[in-house]
A and B are shown apart, each in its own frame.
Chain A
Amino acid sequence: MLSRRIKSEAVETAMFATIRVLSFAVLAFLVFILGFIISRGYSALSWEFISGMPRDEMTAGGIFPALLGTFYLMIGSALVSIPIGIITAIYLTEYSRRPALVKLIRLGVSNLAGVPSVVFGLFGLALFVVFLDFGTSILAGSLTLGILNLPVIIRSTEEALMTVPGTYREASLSLGATRLQTIFRIVLPNAMPGILTGVMLSLGRAAGETAPIMFTAASYYAPELPASIFDQVMALPYHIYVMATAGTHITETRPIQYGTAIILILLVLALNSIGLVLRYRFRKRMKG
């Protein structure tokens, strides 16, 4: 009996140690990836790198057009996903009296979230680039990324709306406010930090996705900055991909690749960190 107890305690100790080691191995791998890229690339960073145009067949100079292109795509996709996503979430949590329909829409949202990003790229190519004849453009890429991001916005907005206590709504309605007034003056302001979390996460995703923009928006090299939403753009993730895999200067341009990777990582991590901090604070406030 005693030996069995000792044995089971030994098993417990061993298993807990294994679990800790595995967990920290994953975290260490993350630190290694980020640390490696930053240590290799920071020397390439300079003001000229961020603000300059590429030179000498892309083997020197800056990445300004790619940075600008990613910015345009972020803004364009946000214009698509934020209004539609927030209104969908409002409908699901505040309006619908049909549970079956709500369930069906939620199922649709979770399936949309599961569609592979490259399939969104195919869809964007077939609908926006070819069928609607927008061409490979900021417009087509923004629409594709906007649809890809809808589930992100819908889910976080829904979560935020549901944490606003029902008593707030009742108080507003009992003062004679209409449903719409209640939503826009009481519910949305109280849910705003949670909604902003979704916005930040979706912006980060728009900045980092490559496959959906490969055939809908991105170009390897554009000699001039885009002049309209019907122009192609360079974009940070696509820039990294092309520089690392295609062309004749793959090894010479490694510093540019690392530098671009750092900029993309910083951009995405900044957006996501803001989002996570907002959510953390929001959840704490709603609990407290």
Chain B
Amino acid sequence: MRVTRKSIIFETIVERLFLVIGMLCLFLLMLISVFLFTEGLPILKNVSPGEFLGGTQWYPTSGNPRFGVLPLIMASIAVTLLASLIAVPLSLAIAVYLAELAAPRVREIVKPVVEIIASIPSVIIGFFGMVVVAPFLQAKFGLDTGLNLFNAALMLAFMAVPTIASISEDAISSVPVSLKEGSFALGANRWQTIFYITIPASLSGIWTAVILGISRVIGETMVVLMVAGGAAIIPKSIFDPVRPLTSNIAAEMAEAAVGGDHYHALFAIGIILFLITFAFNLVADYLSNRYKFKGS
């Protein structure tokens, strides 16, 4: 194969082209924020930022519409916190089990099964929450409705487990063997080594996992749309029906007229979600780059 001048020119053109396409992700990210802000910010012409973020009444379609998103924000926070409380211990158990306890053959089966959980469409999880978990909760606790904060948190926790577990497992597995051997040599047993040495040493990776898991939970839509109950109130109990940010967009976008206040308000909620998840991802990225074991 002779390297001709023509082929050098061709190679250069292709390289430039690949650079442009490679930059596309950054461009798209920018484009997403541009469209969110141009469609979302106009709501602030009619509603002050304080009224929007601090208002406790969300009546977008009434004669005198009110756009207070505080109940929606509180709902998202409550659902996310509760889901994390359930998901983190379960995920860490799986991570420790896979990294330290499971026999290699069991591990080879359990690991892909955990990945299968991640692939189940959220609408299926939501559907299950509606038809199975909701009636169960309603009967068990004598509630008005089983579609509530607790149900949503439970389903979301299940969905967050694969994310948190697999990243934590990577972190736990990457702890140098020499650290563990040092612990064993001092007479510690396997649990003491895991608890006092391995987990503290992989804590930054575990934090990354937890933050990414939480970010996934905040952004999840279908599950909360189907099982959270949909009432735009600030929750007082874990059995209250709630209306998190994501589900509110999904539930109302179809009825909002393009270019109207309601439409802009829903995009403004999109901005809030975008900024929150963006911040979480930056923190996760920072943590995962900052503390990596550079060999033992």
Where the two chains meet, the residues of A that have a C-beta atom closer than 8 Å to any C-beta of B are: 8-9, 11-12, 15-16, 18-20, 22-23, 25-27, 29-30, 33, 36-37, 84, 87-88, 90-92, 95-96, 104-105, 107-123, 125-127, 130-131, 147, 150-151, 154, 175-181, 201, 204-205, 207-211, 214-215, 237-238, 240-241, 244-245, 254, 257, 261, 264-265, 268-269, 272-273, 276, 280
| Interface mask (B92-124 → A, CB under 8 Å = 1, otherwise 0) | 011011100100000000101111110111111
CA distance A120 to B219 in the complex (A): 11
Q: What residues of chain A lie closer than 8 Å to B114, measured between beta carbons?
A: 26-27
Contact between B19 and A95, CB atoms less than 8 A apart? yes
Identify the closest chain B residue to A212 (Cβ): B221
Q: Which residue, A87, A204, A264, A265, has most C-beta atoms of chain B within 10 A?
A: A87
Instruction: Check if B127 is an interface residue, CB within 8 A of chain A.
Output: yes
Instruction: Check if B48 is an interface residue, CB within 8 A of chain A.
Output: no
Identify the closest chain B residue to A9 (Cβ): B189
Contact between B123 and A118, CB atoms less than 8 A apart? no
Contact between B35 and A123, CB atoms less than 8 A apart? yes
Q: What residues of chain A lie closer than 8 Å to B254, measured between beta carbons?
A: 214-215
Identify the closest chain B residue to A98 (Cβ): B19
Identify the closest chain B residue to A275 (Cβ): B119
Contact between A105 and B35, CB atoms less than 8 A apart? no
Q: Which residue, B22, B94, B119, has most C-beta atoms of chain A within 10 A?
A: B22
| Closest beta carbon of chain B to A116's beta carbon, Å | 3
Contact between B281 and A127, CB atoms less than 8 A apart? no
| Closest beta carbon of chain A to B262's beta carbon, Å | 13
17 CB contacts below 8 A, A to B, read A12-B192, A16-B191, A19-B96, A30-B120, A84-B21, A95-B18, A96-B22, A107-B282, A108-B26, A112-B25, A113-B281, A118-B250, A123-B31, A126-B267, A176-B3, A208-B124, A265-B124
Contact between B274 and A119, CB atoms less than 8 A apart? yes
Q: What residues of chain A lie closer than 8 Å to B110, measured between beta carbons?
A: 23, 27
Contact between A25 and B90, CB atoms less than 8 A apart? yes
Q: What residues of chain B lie closer than 8 Å to A240, measured between beta carbons?
A: 123-124, 127
Our pick among B10, B18, B225, B277 for the contact of A116 (Cβ within 8 Å) is: B277
Q: A12-B189, A95-B19, A272-B116 are in contact. Are A123 and B221 (CB under 8 A)?
A: no
Instruction: Check if B228 is an interface residue, CB within 8 A of chain A.
Output: no
CA distance A205 to B122 in the complex (A): 10
Identify the closest chain A residue to B24 (Cβ): A84
Contact between A114 and B278, CB atoms less than 8 A apart? yes
Interface of B is mostly: helix
Q: A209-B121, A237-B121, A244-B127 are in contact. Are A111 and B278 (CB under 8 A)?
A: yes
Contact between A122 and B36, CB atoms less than 8 A apart? yes
| Closest beta carbon of chain A to B224's beta carbon, Å | 10
Interface of A is mostly: helix
Our pick among A8, A109, A110 for the contact of B192 (Cβ within 8 Å) is: A8
Instruction: Check if B144 is an interface residue, CB within 8 A of chain A.
Output: no
CA distance A214 to B220 in the complex (A): 14
Contact between A269 and B226, CB atoms less than 8 A apart? no
| Closest beta carbon of chain B to A172's beta carbon, Å | 10
CA distance A208 to B131 in the complex (A): 19
| Interface mask (B1-37 → A, CB under 8 Å = 1, otherwise 0) | 1110001001100110011011111101101100110
Contact between A210 and B222, CB atoms less than 8 A apart? yes
Q: A95-B15, A240-B124, A261-B127 are in contact. Are A201 and B119 (CB under 8 A)?
A: yes
CA distance A105 to B222 in the complex (A): 29
Contact between B119 and A87, CB atoms less than 8 A apart? no
Contact between A88 and B25, CB atoms less than 8 A apart? yes
